[in-house]
Amino acid sequence: MESEKAFFKDSGVAIITLNRPKALNALCKQLVQELGQVVSLCEKDPSVRVMIITGSQKAFAAGADIKEMSTMTAMQVYNENLFGELDAVSKARKPVIAAVNGFALGGGCELAMMCDFIVAGENAKFGQPEIKLGTIPGIGGTQRLTKAIGKAKAMEWNLTGDLHDAVEAEKAGLVSRIVKTEQLLEETLKIAEKIASYSQPIAALAKECVNKAHETGLQEGLVFERRVFMSTFASKDQKEGMSAFAEKRTPKFVDE
Ligand code: DAK
């Protein structure tokens, strides 16, 4: 197995670890296939409420596997729908957090950006170095990155291929927070467990609304948000959440 998963059933958080140390977790076809399968399984597994995708202390993922990719033809890339399995990450309804230590380069940075947000260890390094290889990003490095950090920085990152540390990435808005390298998983778990303690459908709706902001104009997004807000009032969890507040007790959400 090039990737592995560990379940923390009590808290509902699944930790998916990229595990290909000999190549700094470079995304070969097998790893990507397994990752897509594991994420799809987690989506279906009711005991999983939130996913964390992480790597090692040295590398989240140093990009697509350059050696495997180098001899591919354009038609092979198209016919195989190379890395199409990663749609499982970007289209997941459950929250997915990237916990990044070390290198998140090329496809690795793009994978992290497919997650809902990125928590970075102090030693994290991000970049889109494809230009150095005579190519460009293929799964969001020019698109999601531009939406995340704006045109000027995304342009510079893509045109220079330079690496950027965690502080720079956080300042740019790519990373939601920085934690100590050794505490990356522990800190990310705390965030994931907090999210897992809330109503799952309400979290999924909140996620849909934030994503909508990326895909549409402000007025349309505001109407969408208003409709979704209204729909939460049809849920048991909204009634429970507000009653619990008034009664000064912890809510017991039932995901309905
Ligand atoms: N691919 C294959 N092997 C890699 C690799 C990669 N991306 N990155 C590292 N490795 C391997 C190294 O070859 C080395 O293997 P051995 O020589 O020991 O066999 C081992 O990992 C350790 O790496 P280094 O010896 O280089 O370690 P250093 O600490 O000295 O340097 C580094 C770390 C991360 C700075 C360096 O390894 C590096 O620059 N790596 C390449 C980073 C990179 O250029 N990444 C972008 C790859 S292109 C697509 C969608 C997406 C993509 C493509 C298509 N479609 C939908 C069509 C994505 C493209 C990319 O990501």
Q: Which ligand 1 atom is at minimum distance from the Cα of 106?
A: 61
Which member of 12, 107, 121, 141 is catalytic? 107
Whole-angstrom distance, CA of residue 157 vs CA of residue 161: 6
Whether 5-196 and 199-247 share one fold: the answer is no
Q: How far is the CA of 183 from the centre of ligand 1 (A)?
A: 25
State residue 10's pLDDT score: 73
Per-residue pLDDT of 79-127, as tens digits, reads: 999 999 999 999 999 999 999 999 999 999 999 999 999 999 999 999 9
Our measurement of the distance from residue 141's CA atom to the centroid of its chain's CA atoms, rounded to an integer in Å, reads: 14
Residue with tokens 């965030």: 191
Q: Given a cut of 70, is residue 11 above it in pLDDT?
A: yes
Pairing mode of beta strands 117-121, 59-61: unpaired
Q: Is the CB of 65 under 6 A from ligand 1?
A: yes
73 backbone φψ class: left, alpha, beta (φ>0; ψ -120 to 50): beta
- 3 pLDDT band, cuts 50/70/90, is low
What are the residue ranges spanned by the domains of the chain? 5-196, 199-247
Q: What is the CATH number of domain 199-247?
A: 1.10.12.10
Q: Given a cut of 80, is residue 28 above it in pLDDT?
A: yes
Pairing mode of beta strands 13-18, 3-8: antiparallel
Is 161 noted as a catalytic residue in this protein? no
- 251 pLDDT band, cuts 50/70/90, is very high
Q: How far is the CA of 60 from the centre of ligand 1 (A)?
A: 11
Residue with the smallest CA separation from ligand 1 atom 38 is: 62
Per-residue pLDDT of 42-57, as tens digits, reads: 999 999 999 999 999 9
Whole-angstrom distance, CA of residue 34 vs CA of residue 26: 13
Per-residue pLDDT of 124-146, as tens digits, reads: 999 999 999 999 999 999 999 99
- In this structure, the number of other CB atoms found within 10 A of the CB of residue 90 comes to 18
Under a CB-based contact definition with an 8 Å cutoff, are residues 110 and 141 in contact? yes
Candidate from 19, 22, 24, 28 with most ligand 1 atoms within 8 A of CB, to mutate: 24
**32-41 average pLDDT score:** 96
Q: Which of 24, 11, 16 is nearest to 57 (CA)?
A: 24
Domain 5-196: give its CATH superfamily.
2-enoyl-CoA Hydratase; Chain A, domain 1 (3.90.226.10)
Q: Find the helix packing angle between 236-246 and 200-215, rounded to 10°.
A: 110
Q: How far is the CA of 68 from the centre of ligand 1 (A)?
A: 11
Residue with the smallest CA separation from ligand 1 atom 41 is: 62
- What secondary structure letter does DSSP report for 21? G
What are the tokens at 173?
């808005």
Whole-structure pTM value: 0.97
Q: Given a cut of 80, is residue 77 above it in pLDDT?
A: yes
**155-166 average pLDDT score:** 98
